[in-house]
Amino acid sequence: MSSASIYVAVLSPVVSLCVAVWGFRRTTRADRLKMFLDLQERYLASAARAGRRVMHRRLPDLKPETFDQLTEAERGDLHHALAVMETIAIAWDAGHVEQSMILNAMGRSFSSAIRKSGPYIEDQAALRGFRPYQRACRLADELHRAIEAPGRTARKAPRQVRAVQGGVEAQEVSGRG
């Protein structure tokens, strides 16, 4: 074998690996938007909504010793919603999604749902021997801090446009708190 063929044989996999890593790590704004839309679709799907409904309606009334009162369907919906939320948190951590979009579109809902699920997640950790949904819990805390930060509003105030003599005037209207 000639030295040129050895050089190509060694260099070729290294180049392909570099291109693959560079291509995987490089995320355009359009890719992040597409990822956000996909995650939002999963978050708003009926099974995930049913799971968040369980988080808000059933879990607050239960204590860790009474979690067995949840039906199998409720548990399935609950774990599906938590898995979707964990997926969102993984995408957030990896930078594959526009973080401001997650904050503005689902920040309050995400944070509230995970906070309501806290005792259930702790109970699952005790049963399983490891803490599930760690990234979702961490993201919920981060979103909560961002939403509650002084001077921070989660949503940009909407603009109200009204006609005035000689033109149009736009002013910000106070949004939800």
Percentage of residues in the chain with pLDDT exceeding 90? 60
Specify the higher pLDDT residue, 29 or 78: 78
Q: Please say whether the beta carbons of 94 and 24 come within 8 A.
A: no
Percent of the chain whose predicted confidence (pLDDT) is above 70: 69
* Neighbour tally for 20: CB within 10 Å: 10
Asked whether the beta carbons of 142 and 87 are under 8 A apart, the reply is no
What is the rounded average pLDDT for all residues in the chain?
A: 81
Specify the range with the lowest mean pLDDT, choosing from 5-19, 52-66, 99-113. 5-19
Question: Would you state the pLDDT for residue 77?
Answer: 96
Q: Residue 156 pLDDT > 50, yes or no?
A: no
Q: Which residues contact 101 (CB under 8 A, 6 or more apart)?
A: 33, 36
Name the DSSP class of 149. Answer: S
Residues 50-92 have pLDDT tens digits of 999 999 999 999 999 999 999 999 999 999 999 999 999 999 9
pLDDT number for residue 23: 57
So what's the pLDDT on residue 162?
47
Dig out the tokens for 151 from the structure: 């001077």
| Chain centre distance of CA 107 | 8
pLDDT in tens, 123-144: 999 999 999 999 999 999 999 9
pLDDT of residue 104: 93
The values of phi and psi at residue 169, to 5°, are: -120, 135
